[in-house]
Amino acid sequence: MTNAVGGKSIPSHVTLADVARAAGVSVATASKALNGRAQVRESTRVKVQEAAAALAFTPNFFAQALNSPRTGTIGMVTSDLDNRFVLPILLGAEDAFGSGSLSVLLADARDDVLREHLHLQTLLTRRVDGLLIVGRTTNPRPPVALMADVPVVYVYAPSTDPADASFTPDNVQAGRLAAEHLIATGRTRIALVNGEVSYAAAQDRAAGVNQALQAAGLQLVGGRSLFGQWGEGWGRDCARLLVRGGEPVDAIIGGSDHIARGILDALRDERISVPDDVAVIGFDNWDLLVRESRPTLTSVDMSLEQLGRAAAQHLVDAIGGAPSPGVVAGPVRLVVRDSA
Amino acid sequence: MTNAVGGKSIPSHVTLADVARAAGVSVATASKALNGRAQVRESTRVKVQEAAAALAFTPNFFAQALNSPRTGTIGMVTSDLDNRFVLPILLGAEDAFGSGSLSVLLADARDDVLREHLHLQTLLTRRVDGLLIVGRTTNPRPPVALMADVPVVYVYAPSTDPADASFTPDNVQAGRLAAEHLIATGRTRIALVNGEVSYAAAQDRAAGVNQALQAAGLQLVGGRSLFGQWGEGWGRDCARLLVRGGEPVDAIIGGSDHIARGILDALRDERISVPDDVAVIGFDNWDLLVRESRPTLTSVDMSLEQLGRAAAQHLVDAIGGAPSPGVVAGPVRLVVRDSA
DNA sequence: CTGTTAGCGCGTTCAC
DNA sequence: GTGAACGCGCTAACAG
C-alpha cells in the first residue's frame, strides 16, 4: 500500500510516516497527536486522526515495545492444561485481561519443572509484564525462580512462600459449609468419604468439616475422614460399607462431586432414600454431575472462574505496583439441591 | 548491569553491544558470530559465544522482530474456553508449537463474533505468524475475515469454505465404528439415543450408524435416531421407554458418554443386564464417565489431542508455505470395555 | 504549537 | 574477516 519501488521483505504496513505525510505534518507531531499528548493544536490533531483512520493506520507493536517499559502482554503458565479445574480459571483470567486489553501468552509445563523453566525463559525474553502460574492441584508449590523482577501471581496451587501472591480456593471453608448445612438440617451422624490423602484439597475439606462438627459437639462417623481415591468407585464402596456397617449414618459428604455421585448410586442400589434417610453433599458443583443425578446433588461451588478473575485482576494491580496480598483464600458457596 | 550513569527507564538488559565490547569485536561481528553467519573466523566466533554466555545475553525479542518477517508467535482463538472438548485440543496444539519454539497468544471470543473480530485485530497487530481457530462444536462456521494474509487453520469447527484448512473429528466414522462393533458382536436390534438435533456431531454420528446398519441390511429400532439433549436424563428416559416398549432391543448407542451413562443407569434400574441383554456404547471416551461406570463403558475416542496436534502441525507447515489440505477428518478409534 | 535530532537493539549491506 | 553505517517504526528531548 505504501512503498512504491522496492520489494521490502516485510509486507510494509501503513506507517506513522505515511500518516504524517498524508496529514502534512512531521512524524513527531503525528505521534503526539495520536497519543493524546497535550502540545498539539486541536485542529491538527483532528487532521492527523482523520489521516490515520483513512489509511487504517495501526502502530507497529514491536516498534512501540522496543523502548517502552510495558508490553501489554502477560504470561500464563499452566502445569496441566488437561485438567478440568484450570478451564474456568483460565476463562476468568483471560476475561479480566482481555477487557483490559492485555494479551495472554499461554504455556503449558506438563507438570514438568524443566519445561516450566524453559517456558518461563521464553516468556521473559518476550518481556511479559507479569506472570500467572496456574497449578494442577491446591497443593502448595515452590515459587518460580526468575532472574528478572516481574510480578508473579499463583492461582489454584499457592506458592510455598507466604510472601508471594497466591489465590487458592478456600477448601477449609468449603468443608465447613458442607458440614454446617447438614448440621443445620438436623443431621448428626455424618461421614466423610474423601479423596486422595496426598491432596491438600482433601485435607483442607476434612479440616473444615471437622471444625464445624466440633463446634456442634459432634464428630465424624468412624471418627475420621475416609481418604481414598477421587473416583465414584471409591464413593460407592464406602457408601455401601457405611450403610451396611454397625454405626448409623444420616449424612455422607463426598470429597468431590464424583465421589458423591458414587455415593448416590450405591445408596440407590441399597434402596436407601436420599435425602430422607441419608443426605449427600459433594464438592466442586460440577454441573455435569450435579444437575442430572438422582436426586440432584447439593454441592459446594469453588467459584473458580471468579478465582481466576481475582488473580488476574491482582496481577494487573501488581504490575501497577500494588503490594502482594499473600495467600488469598477465594470464596466458595454452597449450592443446595435435592440431596441434602 | 550495564549502563553506569543514567537511570534508563527500561531496566537495561545485556545488549549485543555489551557482548561485542566484552569480546573485543564490533556489534556487527558479534551478530554474525551468534547467528551462525559464515564470514566469521572460528576463533572469534567462539570468543563471542563465550562472552555472550558469560553475560547471559538474550537477544531483545522486539528488536529482532522489528524487521523480521516472522515473529515466532501464533494466535489461538477459542470460541468457548469453558468447554471440555477444547482442552485436549489446546494441549495438543500447545505441545506441537511449544516443541517448535513457537509461542502461543491465547484469546477467547466467548462465542461472540464481535469479540472474535476484536481479538483477531489485536493478534494481527502483534503480527502473529498464523492463526488457529478453535470452535465450540463441530458445526461449520463462517471463515474469519482478515485484512492480512496470515495462514489460518480451523480446529473442531471447520470453516464453511472448503478451501480453508480445517481439522475436525470424523464423527461419521465414529458412528460407523460403534454400529459395526455391535453388528460384529451379533446385535441386530440397535437403537440410537442421540444428542441435540442442531449439532453436526449428532447428525454425523447418526449418519455413520445408519451407513453401517444399511450395509448389514439392518435399520435402527424405531426407524430413526432419537434426537434430544446431551445429558444423562435424556439417556435414562429413552432407555426406559425403549426397553419397556413393544419392540425388542439388544443394543443402545448413546450419542455421547453422558447419554450412555444415563442409559446404563436406567437399564440397571430395570434389572436389565449389560451387556448380556443389551449392549451400550457411547462417544467421546471421557474417562471420568467411562472408567467407573457399571459396567465400564465401551466408547469411541475422538482423539482430540491428536487432532489439535495435527492442526498445529499443519499450521506450522502452512506458515512454511504448504497448501491447504481442505477439510481433514481426524481419525477416531473404538475403545472396547465391558458394556459392549 | 511544531519540526528536527537522537536513539531503542538488532541485522544487514558494503566498504575496508 | 571485520567494522562502520544505515534502517526498521516509534517516542522523547530539545529547538525553533
- pLDDT tens for residues B122-154? 999 999 999 999 999 999 999 999 888 899 999
**Least CB-CB distance to A231: which of B61, B63, B292?**
B292
> Which helix (DSSP H) or strand (DSSP E) does residue A335 occupy?
strand A333-335
- What integer pLDDT is reported at residue A148 of this predicted model? 83
B72 touches strand C (CB under 7 A): no
Is a pLDDT exceeding 80 seen at residue B59? yes
A226 touches strand D (CB under 7 A): no
- What integer pLDDT is reported at residue B84 of this predicted model? 86
**A63 CA to D14 C1', in Å?**
22
Q: Where are the domains of chain A?
A: 2-66, 73-169+304-332, 171-301
| A186 contact partners, CB below 8 Å, separation of at least 6 | none
Set of chain A residues whose Cβ sits within 8 Å of the Cβ of B76: 106
> Which helix (DSSP H) or strand (DSSP E) does residue A328 occupy?
strand A327-330
Given a contact cutoff of 8 angstroms between Cβ atoms, the answer to whether A76 and A107 are in contact is yes
**A26 CA to C7 C1', in Å?**
18
| Predicted confidence band of residue B7 (pLDDT cuts 50, 70, 90) | very low
| Predicted confidence band of residue B12 (pLDDT cuts 50, 70, 90) | low
DSSP assignment of B297-330 equals PEEEE--HHHHHHHHHHHHHHHHTTPPP--EEEE
Residue in B with minimal Cα distance to A128: B61
Is a pLDDT exceeding 60 seen at residue A1? no
Q: Average pLDDT in the A161-171 region?
A: 98
B26 touches strand D (CB under 7 A): yes
Matching fold, domains B73-169+304-332 and B171-301: yes
Do A66 and B76 make contact, defined as CB atoms within 8 angstroms? no
Q: Which amino acid is at B7?
A: G
Q: Average pLDDT in the B11-24 region?
A: 86
Q: Average pLDDT in the A311-333 region?
A: 97
- What integer pLDDT is reported at residue A323 of this predicted model? 97
B9 touches strand C (CB under 7 A): no
Residue in B with minimal Cα distance to A237: B292
Set of chain B residues whose Cβ sits within 8 Å of the Cβ of A103: 105, 107, 122-123, 126
Q: Which amino acid is at A126?
A: R
Residue in A with minimal Cα distance to B271: A269
- How far is B202 from B196, CA to CA, in rounded Å? 7
B295 upstream amide cis, omega within 30 of 0: yes
Set of chain B residues whose Cβ sits within 8 Å of the Cβ of A58: 125
- What integer pLDDT is reported at residue A5 of this predicted model? 32
Set of chain A residues whose Cβ sits within 8 Å of the Cβ of B58: 125
Do A88 and B104 make contact, defined as CB atoms within 8 angstroms? no
Percentage, residues of chain A above pLDDT 90: 86
Residue nearest to nucleotide C13 (CA to C1'): B28
| B263 contact partners, CB below 8 Å, separation of at least 6 | B193, B235, B236, B238, B239, B252, B254, B280
Residue in B with minimal Cα distance to A126: B61
A148 touches strand D (CB under 7 A): no
Buried b / exposed e over A140-164, threshold 16 CB at 10 Å, is: bbebbeeeeebbbbbbbbbbeeeeb
SS3 of chain B: helix, strand, coil, percent, to 5? 40, 15, 45
Q: The C-alpha cell of A213 is what?
A: 462438627
| B301 contact partners, CB below 8 Å, separation of at least 6 | B284, B285, B332, B333, B334, B335
Burial classification of residue A237, based on how many CB atoms lie within 10 Å of its CB (0-12 exposed, 13-18 middle, 19 or more buried)? middle
Do B69 and A10 make contact, defined as CB atoms within 8 angstroms? yes
Closest nucleotide to A26: CA versus each C1'? C3
Closest nucleotide to A29: CA versus each C1'? C2
pLDDT digits (tens, 9 = 90+) for A255-277: 999 999 999 999 999 999 999 99
Percentage, residues of chain B above pLDDT 70: 96
Q: Please count the residues of chain B.
A: 340
pLDDT digits (tens, 9 = 90+) for A72-93: 999 999 998 888 888 899 999 8
Is a pLDDT exceeding 70 seen at residue B208? yes
- How far is B161 from B91, CA to CA, in rounded Å? 26
- How far is A74 from A311, CA to CA, in rounded Å? 13
Chain B window 27-86, residues with Cβ within 7 A of nucleic strand D: 27-29, 32, 39-41, 43-45, 63, 66-67
Is a pLDDT exceeding 50 seen at residue B65? yes
Classify domain A2-66 by CATH number.
1.10.260.40
| B85 contact partners, CB below 8 Å, separation of at least 6 | B156, B284, B302, B304
State the average pLDDT for chain A: 93
Shortest distance between the Cα of A230 and any Cα of chain B, in A, equals 10
Residue in B with minimal Cα distance to A121: B58
- How far is B60 from B16, CA to CA, in rounded Å? 9
pLDDT digits (tens, 9 = 90+) for B307-329: 999 999 999 999 999 999 999 99
Shortest distance between the Cα of A188 and any Cα of chain B, in A, equals 30
Residue with cell 462444536: B137
Q: Average pLDDT in the A137-141 region?
A: 97
Percentage, residues of chain B above pLDDT 90: 86
- Domain A171-301 in CATH 3.60.110.10? The answer is no
Chain D nucleotides close to protein (CB under 7 A) are 1-5, 7-13
| Predicted confidence band of residue B4 (pLDDT cuts 50, 70, 90) | very low
| B176 contact partners, CB below 8 Å, separation of at least 6 | B208, B209, B211, B212
pLDDT digits (tens, 9 = 90+) for B299-310: 999 999 999 999
Highest mean pLDDT: which range of B67-76, B77-86, B252-261: B252-261
Classify domain A73-169+304-332 by CATH number.
3.40.50.2300
| Predicted confidence band of residue A7 (pLDDT cuts 50, 70, 90) | very low
Testing the interface with B: which of A9, A12, A55, A62 to mutate, by most B Cβ within 10 A?
A62
Given a contact cutoff of 8 angstroms between Cβ atoms, the answer to whether A311 and A93 are in contact is yes
Residue nearest to nucleotide D12 (CA to C1'): A28
Residue A115: CB atoms within 10 A of its CB come to 17
DSSP state of B226: B
DSSP state of B143: P
